[in-house]
Amino acid sequence: MKFRLGLFSLFFASSSILFSGVEDSDAKCSSGGDCAADFVFQEDSLRVFVSFSMPDAALLSFSKALEKTGGTLVFRGIPENSFQAFAKKILELKKQGMGAQVAVDPESFERLKIKDVPTISLNFQEYTDKISGHVSLRYALLRFSEKGETQENAKELLHQMEGF
């Protein structure tokens, strides 16, 4: 198990995939350190909550937009409870051009009460704007910049997206 986890962390570290909720602090990596330290999840302010039930084209579209603004595609869990199935699907998407950061974070789904995917979420301090439904990232940021609690951040991200 130690060997598998070491390879797993090496593979996913090089693939920009982050995980949260790793709580087994007694687990030791092949280097002898704490494996949980390899899976630190740095939460982005801009996140798109998604699922593999969505078409690949939708995931790729969100990915392309997030590559311009920064942010993360967030999955609730892994398909079939299998890291191998998850890795295979992510690699397929990467071959199709997906370059956005990916995270598995069921705690964020619960904390933000995300029930539907896709949901686009923008956080600033204690404020969160979110919109559900298959809308573009640009549309969501426009809505947030017009009447959201994260207006200034949304405007800044729109400028990044539009290349100003």
Q: Domains plus CATH for the chain?
A: 1-40 (no CATH), 43-162 (3.40.30.10)
Quick one: tokens of 141?
A: 């940021």
- pLDDT for the residue numbered 135: 96
Identify the residue with better confidence: 112 or 19. 112
Ordered strands of the 46-50 beta sheet = 17-19, 101-104, 72-75, 46-50, 119-124, 127-132
Cβ contacts of residue 119 below 8 Å, gap of 6+? 48, 49, 112, 130, 131, 132
Instruction: Read off the pLDDT of residues 26-78 as tens digits, 9 standing for 90 and up.
Output: 444 444 555 544 444 445 799 999 999 999 999 999 999 999 999 999 999 99
Instruction: Read off the pLDDT of residues 109-147 as tens digits, 9 standing for 90 and up.
Output: 999 999 999 999 999 989 999 999 989 999 999 999 999
- Cis? peptide before 118, omega within 30° of 0: yes
What phi and psi values does residue 105 have, to the nearest 5 degrees?
-150, 80
Q: How far is residue 33 CA from its own chain's centroid?
A: 26
Q: How far is residue 106 CA from its own chain's centroid?
A: 11
Spatial contact of 9 and 19, defined as CB atoms under 8 Å apart: no
The pTM assigned to this predicted structure is 0.76
